[in-house]
Structure 1
Amino acid sequence: ISQLRSVPGVDARWYTRMQPWIALLGKDATLNINTASVTLLATLEGVTPDMARRLVSERPLQGYASVEDFTFTPALIGLGVQAAGLGTASRWFRITTHVRVGQSRLRLESDMAR
């Protein structure tokens, strides 16, 4: 991800602001609909931020049993949200570690696959 810094127009400020939202995952990676945030759900085709908030607030406590259960929720019917790229489990996790020794601070982020 740090290689993005070499892309024209990507300065330190942009990189710092966007870094929490950037991940390089394999082709088989899916968006876990049972843990996705409002921000991530709002990136789905046709889903507005208000709809995404509704999806999160109405998400079953135990999560959706299948992607089809999610795509056929009343809020999504007729929008054409595709099941491709969606899933009900997480395989990738980001671990963030903060260390402070005296006046020095260090933050390390690692993306891990299960």
Structure 2
Amino acid sequence: MKKIIIFLFIQLTFILWLLYFYKSRSKIKLSNSRIAFYSSVFFYFSIIVLVIITKISLRNNLDSFDLNEDGFFSGNEITDDQRKALENVSSDTGPTFAPIIGILYSLIYFSILYISLKIFREEK
């Protein structure tokens, strides 16, 4: 849950920064479609980075049970917690499906953001 809140906060911060930066500091005004496009690309890469961080975190958790650091689990290294950590690593399908699901979510995100910007922002 904490990762989702951080993820959404980063997305909102990026959109607000994009709107503020191009409104106040640039003579070029970004259209709604460009803002939605840049935000959805950032959204996609954020998903990929979050999946990579999760994969590394799960792997590090599993490696913490390898007491003699030989790469294998034997004897007193095998516990219920180690089995759960091994199951979490082996059943994690996020890295496999993240690029495909990320594209789908980014398209949905683009559509929602574009429609919202069209409604709440005047395009000149």
Fold in common (TM above 0.5): no
Higher relative contact order (CA 8 A, sep 6+): 2
What TM-score do you get using the length of structure 2 for normalisation? Answer: 0.27
- Give the structure with the larger helix fraction: 2
Max radius of gyration: which structure?
2
What TM-score do you get using the length of structure 1 for normalisation? Answer: 0.29
- Give the structure with the larger strand fraction: 1
